[in-house]
Amino acid sequence: MSLKGLLSSRGGRNGSLGPASVLTDGERLAMLDELEQSGLGWFWASDAAGNLTYLSGAIAARLDLPLDALIGQPLTAIFTAVESDGRGKSLPLMLGAHKAFVGMAVRASRRPQGAVLRLSGQPTFSAGDKFVGFRGTGADITEEYTREEETARLARYDSLTGLSNRHRMASHIEATLTAFKAARRTCAVMMIDLDRFKHVNDTLGHGAGDDLLKQVAARLGRAIDRDCEIGRLGGDEFQVLIPDIDDRGVLGELAGKIIAMLRQPYSLEEGRCVIGASVGIAIAPHDGMTREDIVRAADLALYAAKNGGRAQYRFFSGELENETIFRRRLEQDLGTALREEQLFLRFEPIVEAAGGTVASLEAHVCWNHAQRGVIDEEEFAQIIEGSAMIADVGRWAVRAACAGAADWPESVRLAVNVPVPLLLADDFVGLVSEALDSAGLAPGRLELEISEAVFFGDASVVDRTLAALFKLGVRLTLDEFGSGYSSLAYLRRAPFDAIKIDQKLIAEAECHDAREMGLVRAIVALAGALQMDTMASGIESPALLAALTECGVRHLQGPIYSEPADAETVVAEMSGGSWKIDPGAERTRRARRRTVFRKIQVIHDDYAYEVTLRNLSKSGALIEGIADVPRGTQFVVDLGGGQLAVATVTRSNGDVQGLEFEQSLIEDGSGGLCTRNRVSPYALAAAGAPLAPLAPGKFVSVDQGAAVPKFGYSLPSRGEPS
């Protein structure tokens, strides 16, 4: 049908176009032709069957489709609603119901990414009220639609990374938790915070920081190979929602994969850098039922992971809040510790690979806390990390270590790790000089271990300080070499005497051997070319010791030789003029005392006994508190917070029993152990309990045994005690 035919086909139920026009039909036709050509007004028409009978040529051109191929086709086959326009889905309904419609956003079905049109239509009827088709108008709204889509996208997505933004993540978590609660499904929330990101912004600029965030977002998408929603909440903080999972073993592996991928080097236009990541994990409904609760739980776990030394993951537990408060109190007590001389040093031997003689000892700070007791070097390092007191503690350590080393043989050096804030302090070189003079220690006997992270500071200050230390005569060791920064540039700039290979690289070499051990060989070769010594720490196994020795590493350190020893032990060992240590295959790093001497419950049949957990490993535990338990007896061990482990007594001696778990425990990401799964709040609710997150502490409520029970007092014996 032509435009002239369209005009002659009267609209409205009375077949009239309304009041008489002063224009002739020819003039009106010419005016409408001009309107069509201008693009300000486009027209279309269909017959009673819904087939297109007229379409402005300008619309066909805009759709990039031949007009002849459109005429006679069903309107519903030609146009399809745009995805975001829910009203467009009712086009077939409107056409079938002969209803007027206005402003439907559509695209050509054959051009789904093409122009967007807004269609309006009016049904027309013959003089006998018989439906004869539609007449309508169209307008190109592509630019307007694109702007609206972009505005809507920016309201939901992060403009830098393309990930969901804070608002969308909050809405998505809220909706998921509501739906999953009704369906009794689980989900996990991860909070991810980048370590050392601020250094990149400060040194390479915000442009580099933005580029880095984009790369982090891309790596997160690759690392999480399952259905999930990833968002950037702002700055360097990310959030992940993972549906239908409560297995902490799987989540721990996933968090470890994320940490490993994010700490790989990044290539930016401004330079090469490496960052890290810490991850906090909470699971609904175990750790929270609402969005506020589950996000807060994941936040607390993240805070604990960062306080634990960074580059870790941590699961939420009910004790974390108390742990966080206690850690803050410890940080506040550091001033008192310095004033009241509560800090003391332990020294870890660094041994010559060739002969096993102790070449130097590394000073570690410990704390004899008034209420907590002795806080060892590992836990103290976690407390001091990021504290405002780190430089003050470092000053004390330099003075105390130099004073202690004055009693050692002159052939033995002293190694002190220097915190970045202390090295950048104006008085640091003067502090070192004063400590050496006061102790009567030759400058060449002092080794200052300096992290690569110091080079993120003011370059002029760093270069000036290192030059002054070199002039003073102390030895300089580049610590954590291989952790990922532009290490070769630093080696050219600074007068280092030795390279200490990053402990994480050593650990990877032990696990995967080939590629990482090749990197160790390359580092040793590089150090040799630059006439520098090499060191490796954290060595526990004879196999790793042999591999590092074969690579040519000159100095070795780790539990296979000795744990850090107190000052008196060191002096006694070197009383003969030297200290030689043979590596011991039976020596391994001592277990963290977090899980030792803790009150727990063990359940047998209908009785619960309170016992002391003396030792805990992945495969079993040592408990104390029940007398004469037969071997083969099965217990349910309640580790608190819904963590139940089935265990069998494998050895028994008086009131001490060795247990073997039916299912091994898993790493909790921070050196501790936990069960893979926990009691489900849904299962408890099905048994009549209110649906609520798991509470910390003892979990199973049964009849209590006697205060100091003898096993079998009211229970049948199983087998004979050993």
pLDDT in tens, 377-393: 887 887 787 678 899 99
Residues 277 and 389 grouped into a single domain: no
716 in a structural domain: no
Cα–Cα distance, 594 to 112 (Å, whole number): 60
Contact 717, 630 (CB under 8 A): yes
393 in a structural domain: yes
Between residues 511 and 590, the one the model is more confident about:
511
Residues 173 and 133 grouped into a single domain: no
If DSSP codes are grouped into helix, strand and coil, which group holds residue 474? Answer: coil
250 membership: H or E segment, kind and range: helix 248-262
Total domains in the chain come to: 4
**Sheet with strand 101-108: strands edge to edge:** 52-55, 42-47, 131-140, 117-125, 101-108, 79-81
SS3 annotation, 686-709: HCCCCCCCCCCCCCCCCEECCCCC
Predicted pLDDT of residue 535: 94
When pLDDT is cut at 50, 70 and 90, the band that residue 485 belongs to is low
> Among 113, 148, 183, which residue terminates a domain?
148
Predicted pLDDT of residue 146: 79
Query: Lowest-pLDDT range, 93-107, 519-533, 551-565?
Result: 93-107
List, in sequence order, every beta strand (DSSP E) within 217-342: 229-234, 237-243, 266-268, 271-273, 276-284, 313-315
515 membership: H or E segment, kind and range: helix 514-529
Closest C-alpha to 263, from 202, 207, 215, 335? 215
Give residue-wise pLDDT tens across range 307-363: 776 788 999 987 666 566 666 777 778 888 998 999 999 999 999 998 899 999 999
> Among 125, 148, 171, which residue terminates a domain?
148
C-alpha neighbours within 13 Å on the C-beta side of residue 200: 29
Contact 58, 74 (CB under 8 A): no
Residues 143 and 161 grouped into a single domain: no
Residues 382 and 457 grouped into a single domain: yes
CATH number of the domain that 197 lies in? 3.30.70.270
Query: Which residue in the block uniquely carries the two structure tokens 């191929």?
Result: 69
Distance of CA 404 to the CA centre of its chain: 41
CATH number of the domain that 138 lies in? 3.30.450.20
For residue 310, give its domain range.
157-318
Over pLDDT 70: what percentage of the chain?
A: 84
Predicted pLDDT of residue 325: 64
CATH number of the domain that 374 lies in? 3.20.20.450
Residues 564 and 642 grouped into a single domain: no
* Mean pLDDT along residues 558-582: 91
Residues 179 and 257 grouped into a single domain: yes
When pLDDT is cut at 50, 70 and 90, the band that residue 38 belongs to is low
* Mean pLDDT along residues 131-152: 84
CATH number of the domain that 604 lies in? 2.40.10
* Mean pLDDT along residues 510-538: 82
526 in a structural domain: yes
DSSP strand pairing (343-352 vs 358-369): antiparallel
Residues 402 and 420 grouped into a single domain: yes
Cα–Cα distance, 561 to 539 (Å, whole number): 8
Residues 645 and 569 grouped into a single domain: no
Q: What does the mean pLDDT of the chain come to? A: 84
Predicted pLDDT of residue 595: 37
pLDDT higher than threshold 50 for residue 714: no
Residue 36: exposure state from Cβ atoms within 10 A (0-12, 13-18, ≥19): middle
720 in a structural domain: no
Residues 303 and 228 grouped into a single domain: yes
Cα–Cα distance, 6 to 36 (Å, whole number): 14
428 in a structural domain: yes
Winning range, highest mean pLDDT, from 48-52, 122-126, 184-188, 424-428: 184-188
Q: H-type helices in 552-672, by residue range?
A: 567-573
> Among 262, 285, 318, which residue terminates a domain?
318
651 membership: H or E segment, kind and range: strand 644-653
Query: Lowest-pLDDT range, 196-210, 269-283, 337-351, 686-700?
Result: 686-700
Predicted pLDDT of residue 357: 94
Q: What are phi and psi of 118, to 5 degrees?
A: -110, 115
Predicted pLDDT of residue 196: 83
451 in a structural domain: yes
373 in a structural domain: yes
Between residues 427 and 143, the one the model is more confident about:
427
Predicted pLDDT of residue 403: 95
* Mean pLDDT along residues 91-107: 84
Contact 539, 557 (CB under 8 A): yes
* Mean pLDDT along residues 626-651: 92
Tell me the whole-structure pTM to 2 decimals.
0.61
114 in a structural domain: yes
Residues 528 and 432 grouped into a single domain: yes
Cα–Cα distance, 76 to 287 (Å, whole number): 50
* Mean pLDDT along residues 196-209: 83
Closest C-alpha to 85, from 121, 122, 119? 119
Residues 118 and 168 grouped into a single domain: no
Q: Which two tokens stand for residue 631?
A: 């071997």
* Mean pLDDT along residues 107-118: 82
Q: Which two tokens stand for residue 227?
A: 């259905």
Between residues 368 and 378, the one the model is more confident about:
368
Predicted pLDDT of residue 436: 96
Contact 389, 355 (CB under 8 A): no
Residues 52 and 169 grouped into a single domain: no
